[in-house]
Amino acid sequence: MEFATAIPDQFVPLSSYLGQHNAFLGDVAGFYQARAVLEREFAGKLTALVRDAQKRRARKASALIVGEQPSRRDDGGAISSTDQAWARILSETEELALDRSKLGDSLDRDVVSALSTAEKRSEDSRKRHEAFHAKALAQRDKVYAARTKAKATYDDACAVVEGFRQKAELAKDERRSDKAARQYELATLDMANTKNAYIVAIAVANAAKDQFFTTDLPSMHNHLQALWNTNIALLIQALERVSALDQKYLSDSTRHQIQISQAVESIDVTADQGTYASYNTRPFTIPANITFEACPIWHDTDFLVVQDEPRTVLQNKFMRSRATLEDLKPKASSKKREVTGAVKTKDTYLAKPSLGNLSDAMESYLDISRQVITLEAEVAALQAEVDTIGKALGGDHGKGKQHAWKPSALTSRSSCSVCGHSVVGLQKHGLTCRECGLACHKACEIKMPAACGDTTATSSRADLSRTSSVISQEGKAPSLKRFSSTSTASGRPLSGVSEQSTAQFGNATAQFDYSGRSAMELSVQAGERVRYIRDEAEGWARVANAQGAEGAVPTSYLKQDATSNGVSKRASSIAPPRPSSSSTRSATKQAKAMYDYTAASPAEVTIREGDTLELTGKAIDEGWTEVTLRGQTGAVPTSYLAL
């Protein structure tokens, strides 16, 4: 196809279109110029990133291979496949950055420069051809103007001839007629000449027209078409060069990627772990079993106390721990099965990453494994507790029915079935059995025998509680839980007992019940007369009872007769008698906190051991005393105070 025949007489719009096409070449050149800048910029940033990573690798290589604190020194011989692979990856990535930089330079040199030159030269050619077209058009118009002028001259000559003809016809004498005839003849000749010139001008104009429209203008159309073709050819050459450069870069990149893939495949985690282990081997033995350590001032053994209230506490703990153990074991087994499934899922995703997210699978596996470890630790602890208590109880795990306790904020005054004190207090930490209706303090619940519905056991427990309450009120001694095998005998002040309860045997009286915990100790009951023999270790005295049995008892549990020597001074130095609360309140306005206590309601006061408290003297619930500390007034347990 030629523009001369396809789009005749379209030089001006065709030339304008070619100008737009030249501008397109400039746009393409600008694109690749910007791309070259980006390639070099990316190469520079990638190179900087690689070098920073190489510096960090050099700093941390030893820690990555053998750890931060290896058991033996690394002299550079330790090798890690992971570290070596990373070094190769960084090296190949740096080569990739260099190839990127070369690509940018090639684009600038081979593509941008060629397209920019082609645009400039094509535009110059178009403008020169446009000027030539204007010149040819002006030449044609000049011929057209000559024809027009010849026509005007011819018309003027015809008008002159007509004028002389009319004069000749109107001439009245011969002289004038001859003159008119001569003028007419001359005008006729001149008209013939102008006619001839006019006709020739028409021929020339037609020839110029034919030359312009059939030869010159089509040639100029074809010239513009040829210029367009040249532009496209240069554009194709530039784009082919871009493609070749990209293919070369991709080829080089593929070669680097192959090297990177080989580096990744060379990672051997087992070998790396072996290297780390070889540099971090240290002697290790499982710690020895923890053994019982007796208190320096309290003779004791590592046998569980299984008499009276301690037996009840142990039985309750045994049954609760066993029930919890039976509940946890199925859960632990179920979680172990979940671990097996999680391992299979993790291994499947590891083999075929397209099937799922390996990180999620690993996190799920670890989460379930942590739960299993936690459950198994609880099971092991409970099993040890059940085995230890069960062995000590010798099969006597308690035959009664467990109480079904529920928290209760009792509004009517009720006594705790364990300690006998009021359950309705400032704290209101009460429990009530759903089935038998027994009430107790939350802290006393563990001491309640498992005898739900057994009124005999309940009544017996209540009698024991009342007895303990009477002794506590008369002697102001703390409850027996203050004298466990882990307590210090000198830690709580004691007072004497009534002289009416003493017998004539011996020279000392037991103030409180004491159960011997070994063959070297002697069990005594409150009010029992004993014979003092001698002092033993700090806080202990050797005595004999009326049956002739001898053994050690805490000195603070004894009150020697005023007429005897040996134990009175020692007992008073260890545990001076404490006056009753009524006499203390009348004699002093202050008390000292013996233990820490945290308030459980706004009506109570938080105290710390050693605090000096002011007594308000206000009567409140049994077992409580109102005090003031640092401007705050509230209740605290009376047994926590040294009045």
Asked if residue 329 belongs to a domain, the reply is yes
What are 73-87's pLDDT values in tens digits? Answer: 877 778 899 999 999
Asked if residue 530 belongs to a domain, the reply is yes
Q: Answer yes or no: is pLDDT of 473 > 80.
A: no
What are 331-372's pLDDT values in tens digits? Answer: 989 988 999 999 999 899 988 888 889 999 999 999 999 999
Instruction: Please tell me whether residue 579 adopts helix, strand or coil conformation.
Output: coil
Q: What is the CATH number of the domain that holds 396?
A: 3.30.60.20
Q: How far from chain centre, in Å, is Cα 534?
A: 68
Most confidently predicted of 3-12, 42-51, 432-441: 42-51
> Comparing C-alpha atoms, which of 523, 495, 522, 500 is closest to residue 511?
495
pTM of the model: 0.52
Asked if residue 620 belongs to a domain, the reply is yes
244 and 315 co-located in one domain:
no
Please, which pLDDT band fits residue 496 given cuts at 50, 70 and 90? very low
332 and 440 co-located in one domain:
yes
365 and 421 co-located in one domain:
yes
CA distance 555 to 521: 12
Please, which pLDDT band fits residue 541 given cuts at 50, 70 and 90? confident
Number of domains in the chain: 4
| Residue at which a domain ends, from 419, 444, 469 | 444
Q: Answer yes or no: is pLDDT of 463 > 50.
A: no
Say which range, 174-178, 238-242, 351-355, 529-533, has the weakest mean pLDDT.
174-178
438 and 322 co-located in one domain:
yes
Q: Answer yes or no: is pLDDT of 172 > 90.
A: no
127 and 256 co-located in one domain:
yes
Q: What is the CATH number of the domain that holds 226?
A: 1.20.1270.60
108 and 246 co-located in one domain:
yes
Residues 164-180 have a mean pLDDT of: 76
Asked if residue 303 belongs to a domain, the reply is no
C-alpha to C-alpha distances, 431 to 49, 62, 409, 453, nearest whole angstrom: 68, 62, 8, 16
Sheet holding 612-615, edge to edge: 632-637, 624-629, 612-615, 590-593, 641-642
Q: What is the pLDDT of residue 622?
A: 67
Domain membership of residue 25 as a residue range: 14-136+216-271
CA distance 364 to 347: 13
Instruction: Please tell me whether residue 604 adopts helix, strand or coil conformation.
Output: strand
Cβ proximity of 11 and 132 under 8 Å: no
Cβ proximity of 40 and 101 under 8 Å: yes
Residues 511-526 have a mean pLDDT of: 82
Q: What is the CATH number of the domain that holds 632?
A: 2.30.30.40
Q: Answer yes or no: is pLDDT of 260 > 90.
A: yes
548 and 618 co-located in one domain:
no
Please, which pLDDT band fits residue 62 given cuts at 50, 70 and 90? confident
| Residue at which a domain ends, from 444, 466, 482 | 444
Q: What is the pLDDT of residue 466?
A: 38
Q: Answer yes or no: is pLDDT of 248 > 70.
A: yes
Say which range, 112-126, 197-211, 553-567, has the weakest mean pLDDT.
553-567
The 8 Å CB, 24+ separation contacts for 476-484 are 476/578, 476/579, 476/580, 476/581, 477/511, 477/512, 478/639, 479/419, 479/639, 480/309, 480/512, 480/513, 483/512, 483/514, 483/554, 484/305
116 and 251 co-located in one domain:
yes
Q: What is the pLDDT of residue 93?
A: 95
Asked if residue 156 belongs to a domain, the reply is no
Rounded to the nearest integer, the mean pLDDT of the chain is: 81
Q: What is the pLDDT of residue 165?
A: 82
> Comparing C-alpha atoms, which of 252, 22, 224, 219 is closest to residue 119?
22
Residues 230-249 have a mean pLDDT of: 93
Q: Answer yes or no: is pLDDT of 483 > 80.
A: no
Residues 187-195 have a mean pLDDT of: 92
Residues 582-606 have a mean pLDDT of: 71
110 and 239 co-located in one domain:
yes
Asked if residue 148 belongs to a domain, the reply is no
264 and 407 co-located in one domain:
no
CA distance 41 to 423: 81
Asked if residue 194 belongs to a domain, the reply is no
346 and 401 co-located in one domain:
yes
Please, which pLDDT band fits residue 424 given cuts at 50, 70 and 90? low
What's the token pair of residue 5? 């025949």
| Residue at which a domain ends, from 410, 444, 478 | 444
103 and 220 co-located in one domain:
yes
Residues 431-449 have a mean pLDDT of: 82
Asked if residue 500 belongs to a domain, the reply is no
425 or 409: which leads in pLDDT: 409
Please, which pLDDT band fits residue 439 given cuts at 50, 70 and 90? confident
What are 216-229's pLDDT values in tens digits? Answer: 888 888 898 899 99
> Comparing C-alpha atoms, which of 556, 570, 548, 544 is closest to residue 512?
556
CA distance 310 to 318: 12
Q: Answer yes or no: is pLDDT of 467 > 70.
A: no
